[in-house]
Amino acid sequence: MGTDGFAKWTRRFEDERERRRVQGDPDWGQGATLHPAVWAGIQRFQVGEDGDGANLVGKADQAGDADYGRAVRLFVAEEQNHARLLARLLAAGGLPTLTGHWSDTVFVRLRRLMGLRLELLVLMIAEVVALRYYRALRDGTDDALTSDVAGRILSDEERHVPFHCERLHASLAELPRATRRPVLALWRLLLLAVTLVVAADHGPALRRLGLGRMRFVRDVTASSRAVVSAVLAPRPDAWASTAEPPRR
């Protein structure tokens, strides 16, 4: 992957940063009212969005592409902004943030085991699951503030996935051709396992958002096919439209 490709992503992240600055924050003063199960889910996802991203940034710098390193820093800043938005949403509902959650601890440890390729593959599992969760949170509640926050985060995540797909395409191209599809098949199996755990853990919240456990699993599994296609032959501008199911 040439430098120009990630310079393009850097510009996209910078454009979005400026757009957010002009748009400003949601109206926190309106408050938020949600079922306790939905609040519990938001607390857990807020933990997952929080973090300094230092490990990922360090590996990105080692990849030797300065534009990619800059783009990763902008990606991390967006993830940190997601954590801030969710923390403010919880505060608007009178709830605290969590200091940690076992699922986040597992993901962080897995991501740090090896190099950039494995880190991105594990990170992509969290990103793909998050896409469906934030879509459910945006569409499945009548609370205006929650829908606003979830929609903002979802818009960012729909850009993050093709960004990572493009880098994974370059990374997998370094492997023998015969191993690339098996690697992605294993990734899909791990994604399925994680999705089943998330569906079980967040079942009550998903039901409150109008999305049953099995529908959640089916939708995430379906979107994983689009991810694999994008990694094998990147089409970053087309990914979101092909991966997102019709809005309820």
- Cα–Cα distances (Å) from 28 to 94, 133, 136, in that order, read 12, 22, 21
pLDDT the model gives residue 122: 87
Residue 140 CB neighbour total at 10 angstroms: 20
Asked if 131 and 161 count as a contact pair (C-beta separation under 8 A), the reply is yes
CA atoms within 13 A on the CB side of 186: 7
CA distance 203 to 196: 10
Tell me the helix, strand and coil percentages in the chain, rounded to 5.
Answer: 80, 0, 20
Three-state DSSP class for 43? helix
* Residue 91: partners with Cβ closer than 8 Å, 6 or more residues away: 28
- The tens digit of pLDDT for each residue in 55-114 reads 889 888 888 889 999 999 999 999 999 999 999 999 999 999 988 555 556 656 665 666
Buried b (16+ CB within 10 A) or exposed e, 183-213: ebeebbeebeebbbebbebbbebbbbbebeb
Which residue numbers in the chain have pLDDT < 70? 1-4, 52, 100-114, 234-248
Q: Compute φ and ψ for 79, nearest 5 degrees.
A: -65, -40
Token look-up 């300065």 returns 66
Helix or strand holding residue 187 (H, E):
helix 177-201
Q: How far, in Å, CA of 158 to CA of 21, rounded? A: 19
User: Do the beta carbons of residue 240 and residue 162 sit within 8 Å?
Assistant: yes
pLDDT recorded at residue 99:
80
pLDDT at 1: 41
| Cα–Cα distance for residue pair 220/128, rounded to 1 Å | 7
pTM (two decimals): 0.88
